[in-house]
Structure 1
Amino acid sequence: MAFIDELAAREAAMRWLDDRTQLGTRTVTQPDVANFPFQGQDVALLLRQQGICKPRQLDAALSIRTTWTRPGDKPPYEDVEGPDGLVRYAYRGTDPEFFENRALRRAFEHRLPMIWFVAVAPGVYLARYPVYVVADEPEHLRVALAIDEDQRFLGVPRPDEIDRRRSVQRLTKLRLHQPVFRAQVLGAYERSCAMCRLRHVELLDAAHIIPDGKERGTPIVPNGLSLCSIHHRAFDANVLGVRPDYTVAVRSDILGEIDGPMLKHGLQAMDGVSLSLPKQRAQHPDRERVEERYEEFLAAG
């Protein structure tokens, strides 16, 4: 077995993923990224049956995976955000000395970057990288992850570091939850705008029905709409609204304006259009959230 340079291999894996994921914005399947070429060898990157991938040529874990779990089901290994805002990734099994868990520990000891494949649908993953193990917690059978360089610098806050903890929580939401939310929503809507049917993924966003930060503004598909950039901004600004019957409403003053083709075709023409909805009913916009947001739209008008 020929060992290879740990850091160089990781840098090569991430550059290789950049091309296949459009810099981490495009989802992949396990066969797409099972191995990558490095120095004349095929190096394992995402294994079919293992959540922690330690290639035979490396000493430490290269990637980790969070599998898909249907809403309401209990995952086999629960990866959760801790009270300090850092993500906890569960060991495999209950033996801290199991070889995959030791491989995670070595990534922590040598401060090596890893890749995290987060399932956004069955067999479909969003690659987040680089991530770092910033604490080993064998008493809880888990490690703490920093999902970018900023969190890595902050490390694990002490309980008395309230402001620092809040900073870590904001980073976690921005750098992990939002990209995963976008991938899940765009996947549910088959990568098209729910209002105008535009299918250019680079121009699509995942819009919150109830804004992020409010009590029910959670990043889940029933609280999301796949919208192109112009309709996302118009929805956020209450220029456009969504009625409880899933049809689009345009603010009355906007309907009365006279301007160029974008106003006429991009906004005014949306009035009364029915949303294009996901095939799975469980992924449809939550009606209570839609009604709450529509009341806000009416108040703004």
Structure 2
Amino acid sequence: MDSAVEAALRVQIMDWVLARAEANGGFLHRHELLGFRIDGRDLPLIDYSRGIRNPSEFTSTLSIVSSAAGPYDDTESDDGLLHYAYRKGDPFGGDNRKLRTAMDTGMPLILFRKEQANYLTPVMPVYVVDDEPERRQFLIALDEAFRFMGDVRHLAEPQRAYARRLAKQRLHQPAFRTRVLLAYETRCAVCTLRHGSLLDAAHIVPDSDPRGVPTTPNGLALCKIHHAAFDQHILGVTPDHRVQVRADVLAEVDGPMLRHGIQAMHGRALTLPRRAADRPDRELLAVRWEMFAGR
């Protein structure tokens, strides 16, 4: 396939992935990716059994899948880069050859992070920026700028800090959203709204706090209005999972949004995840409750 045609096709694919992920709440189901069609033909966006997708007509890898067992597994060091192991077999042939071509040509890839079986969070575009044969791995960056930074194995500290910041914004935060929304079955914990595109993953303890790690027990699935109300301390949650609305807001007289969207939530019990391990941590809720009660 001509490189210009391939590049244009990748743009079409990424636009579709982005639109589907936004509609779902930030993630896609495996069957959506396997069933993708374009121009009247099938073009699966992930492989059925491997963690890499190399369509036969493409010169470079289209997508890779990274499985995660924790919030920070994608970066194996503090460099903010993804360390992606060679595929089995010939280190200079097969799947590895197309990854190497992506490095040489600068062709963008899609990274799908698998948070749990069948659900994947897209991170795109990403770029193969280095090849480490001695470690049998490629280095993959979240910004094309790293292709032009020289030796990415020995980045200056400002560049490393930038890479870590990107990893937090483009990798960890979307993955956190996926985990939380899936735990809450894509519904707001306060009002049970089920439109994924209108839901966020709210940190109980903010991520600026050392305790504010991007794990499900530190998260609540909230619709955008309740997320904003939670962040503005208009709405709080007690350690025993009850919604409380600030007294002065309860006393206000306004329109139906305030009455039904905020005031009617006062005293309501949160809708919690089925799995006990995914439910909000009571100690973290207590920390956040103190912030709300002190207002």
Distance in 2, matches of 1:154 and 1:223, equals 36
* 1:5 alignment partner in structure 2: 2
Contact 2:17 2:122 in 1 (8 A): no
Asked whether 1:260 is paired with 2:255, we answer: yes
After superposing the two structures, state which structure 1 stretch, 282-291 or 251-260, moved more: 251-260
* 1:188 alignment partner in structure 2: 183
Distance 1:153 1:293, change over 3 A: farther
Letter in structure 2 aligned against 1:224: G
> Post-superposition shift, 1:183?
2.0
Contact 2:62 2:109 in 1 (8 A): yes
Task: Note the alpha carbon deviations across 1:194-249, whole angstroms, 9 max, x for none.
Answer: 10112222221111111112112111211111111111111112221111111112
Contact 2:37 2:44 in 1 (8 A): no
* 2:48 alignment partner in structure 1: 48
* 1:65 alignment partner in structure 2: 65
* 2:15 alignment partner in structure 1: 18
Letter in structure 2 aligned against 1:112: M
Distance 1:8 1:214, change over 3 A: farther
Distance in 2, matches of 1:65 and 1:109, equals 21
Asked whether 1:128 is paired with 2:130, we answer: no
Asked whether 1:179 is paired with 2:147, we answer: no
Asked whether 1:284 is paired with 2:279, we answer: yes
Letter in structure 1 aligned against 2:8: E
> Which SS does the other structure have where 1:253 is aligned?
helix
Contact 1:129 1:147 in 2 (8 A): yes
After superposing the two structures, state which structure 1 stretch, 20-29 or 150-159, moved more: 150-159
After superposing the two structures, state which structure 1 stretch, 257-266 or 199-208, moved more: 257-266
Equivalent of 1:163, from 150, 154, 158?
A: 158
Letter in structure 1 aligned against 2:12: R
Distance 1:169 1:275, change over 3 A: same
Distance 1:62 1:20, change over 3 A: closer
Asked whether 1:91 is paired with 2:86, we answer: yes
Distance 1:18 1:155, change over 3 A: farther
Letter in structure 2 aligned against 1:91: Y
> Which SS does the other structure have where 1:80 is aligned?
coil
Q: Could you state the TM-score of these two structures normalised by the residue count of structure 1? A: 0.85
Residue correspondences, number: 291
Contact 2:64 2:111 in 1 (8 A): yes
Distance in 2, matches of 1:288 and 1:95, equals 51
Distance 1:149 1:94, change over 3 A: same
After superposing the two structures, state which structure 1 stretch, 118-127 or 144-153, moved more: 144-153
Distance 1:293 1:151, change over 3 A: farther
Asked whether 1:114 is paired with 2:106, we answer: no
Distance in 1, matches of 2:281 and 2:246, equals 22
Distance in 1, matches of 2:167 and 2:117, equals 23
> Which SS does the other structure have where 2:283 is aligned?
helix
* 2:137 alignment partner in structure 1: 142
Contact 1:10 1:114 in 2 (8 A): no
> Post-superposition shift, 1:47?
0.7
Q: Could you state the TM-score of these two structures normalised by the residue count of structure 2? A: 0.87
Q: Identity over the aligned pairs, expressed in percent?
A: 43
Gaps of 5+ in 2: none
Distance in 2, matches of 1:288 and 1:99, equals 50
Distance in 2, matches of 1:193 and 1:229, equals 9
Task: Note the alpha carbon deviations across 1:168-212, whole angstroms, 9 max, x for none.
Answer: 221221122222221221122122111011222222111111111
Distance 1:101 1:217, change over 3 A: same
> Post-superposition shift, 1:42?
4.2
* 1:275 alignment partner in structure 2: 270
Task: Note the alpha carbon deviations across 1:106-160, whole angstroms, 9 max, x for none.
Answer: 2111211111111132111122222111111222222222224455565765757
Distance in 1, matches of 2:8 and 2:64, equals 16
After superposing the two structures, state which structure 1 stretch, 139-148 or 88-97, moved more: 88-97
> Which SS does the other structure have where 1:125 is aligned?
strand
Gaps of 5+ in 1: 73-77
> Which SS does the other structure have where 2:79 is aligned?
coil
Letter in structure 1 aligned against 2:285: V
